[in-house]
Amino acid sequence: MTRKTLIRTLCAFVLGAMPAQAKAEAALQVLGKDFTFPNKITSLPSKLSDFQGLEINAFVTTDGVKLSYWEMGAGRPLVFVPGWSANGAQYINLLYLLSRNYHVYVLDPRNQGLSQHVDYGSRIARFSMDLKEFGDHLGLKSADYVGHSMGSAILWSYIDLFGTTGIRKIAFVDEPISIYSHSDWSEQERLEAGGTTTSPERTVAGFTGAGPINQLVTDMKPFERAQLTDSSYFVNSESFSKAVVHDDPIAMGRVLFNHLINDWRDVVRRKIDIPAALFSGVESNNLPSQRWAASVIPNATLYVYTSAEQGDHFLMFKNPLKFTQDLRSFLER
């Protein structure tokens, strides 16, 4: 082997051993097609191609799962963790509005959105490890985090396992502290925890289409409110998500049982030692549990939206202008 060949071989080995840097991918290029939103809103672009700087990238977890994430903007990092069955496409309005002031990221959880579908790791604890590895991938030393619905549970698990180091401020949007209602609870305990079901199995079947879903199984308010079309913002983001993301109920359902049976009251009561905000509304049956969480987290801020302000489980998507204003007010003070 000549000296030149040896040097070339060593260089190739060193480069191959170095971690690959994420290649920026424009969302339009990744999705392969443009999208025109059904409602024209003056404060938002009317087509996907008008979202300048929107990217969809990916990284691989330590257990070999390719997770996609959406990002837009520049400035202090702001990370959104979607709820069960949700994805970055639904955050399209929030990405645009918040990218004016922050570098916004939305991580598609495993088995959801554009992330890989696998038959392992379907636990909230593994989802929180995915979130940690996502932060490591980005090199985040300090960031603000927002969890919606199950995304809040992922953040509670993250705090339980890794503490709050690296989290500057945190926000939770309308997630029960314990969805499973234990048989020995009083009604007051159930309200404070947010319990909505006594049968996780029936709830999983109802959510994934394998069984009936009704008021005897779980809280039906989110289902009812999701059907309303009185928010142009929500219609736009849901239409976009349905056009570019192809859900697999079986894959998404793998984490649901584990999600339903976790009780996070000890984490909420004892381990959140950073500035925290909670968002809920009068059209959500989760409001009592959010009031309880705000009462036990030191110096927590509770935002309660009215009916006119779309105060239900989807308030951040239905009223993104108010939500981004309130979130920014919390983050900047």
Model pLDDT, residue 116: 98
Contact 84, 122 (CB under 8 A): no
Q: Look up the pTM and report it.
A: 0.92
CA distances 304 to 195, 279, 281, Å, are 19, 6, 5
Provide the CB-side half-sphere exposure for 243 (13 A, CA). 18
Q: Which domains does the chain show, CATH number per domain?
A: 46-332 (3.40.50.1820)
Q: What 3-state class would DSSP assign to 222?
A: helix
pLDDT along the chain (333 residues), means of 10: 40 36 78 97 96 97 98 98 98 98 98 98 98 98 98 98 98 98 96 97 95 95 97 98 96 98 98 98 98 98 98 98 98 97
Q: Which residues pair with 26 in a beta bridge?
A: 55
Edge-first strand order for the sheet with 66-72 is 55-60, 66-72, 102-107, 76-81, 143-148, 167-173, 276-281, 301-305
Model pLDDT, residue 54: 98
Beta pairing, strands 301-305 & 276-281: parallel
